[in-house]
Amino acid sequence: MTVTTERNHLETSVFDELTRILARTDERVRMELIDGKLRSKVVPDGDHGRIIEWLLRICMQSRPELFLYPDQGLKVQAYRSGRARPDGSLAPSGAFVGQGEWADPDPVLMAVEVTSYDSDSDTDGRDRVEEPRAYAETGIPVYLLIDRDSCEVTVYSEPDGVRYESARTVPFGKTVDLPDPVGVTLETEQLKDWVH
Residue type, 59: C
* CA distances to 1, 48, 126, 133 from 104, in Å: 26, 25, 21, 17
Which pLDDT does position 77 carry in this prediction? Answer: 81
Q: Where are the domains of the chain?
A: 44-194
Q: What is the pLDDT of residue 194?
A: 93
Is omega for the bond preceding 181 within 30 degrees of 0, making it cis?
yes
Kindly report, residue by residue over 56-101, the tens digit of the pLDDT: 999 999 999 999 999 899 999 876 678 889 999 999 999 999 998 8
**CA pair distance 161, 96, nearest whole angstrom:** 23
Q: What is the pLDDT of residue 46?
A: 78
What pLDDT score does 45 carry?
Answer: 72
Alpha-carbon dihedral 74, 3, 48, 67, rounded to 10 degrees: 0
Q: Are strands 142-147 and 110-114 parallel, antiparallel or unpaired?
A: parallel
Residue 150 in 3-state DSSP? coil
Sign of CA dihedral 7, 12, 18, 22: positive
Q: pLDDT by residue for the chain (196 residues), tens digit each? A: 444 444 455 566 666 665 555 555 555 556 665 666 656 666 667 789 999 999 999 999 999 999 999 989 999 987 667 888 999 999 999 999 999 889 999 999 999 999 987 654 555 556 667 889 999 999 999 999 999 999 999 999 999 999 999 999 999 999 999 999 999 999 999 999 998 7
Q: Which amino acid is at 48?
A: H
Residues 41, 26: Cα–Cα separation, whole Å: 13
**CATH class of the region 44-194:** alpha beta
pLDDT at 1: 41
Amino acid letter, 24: R
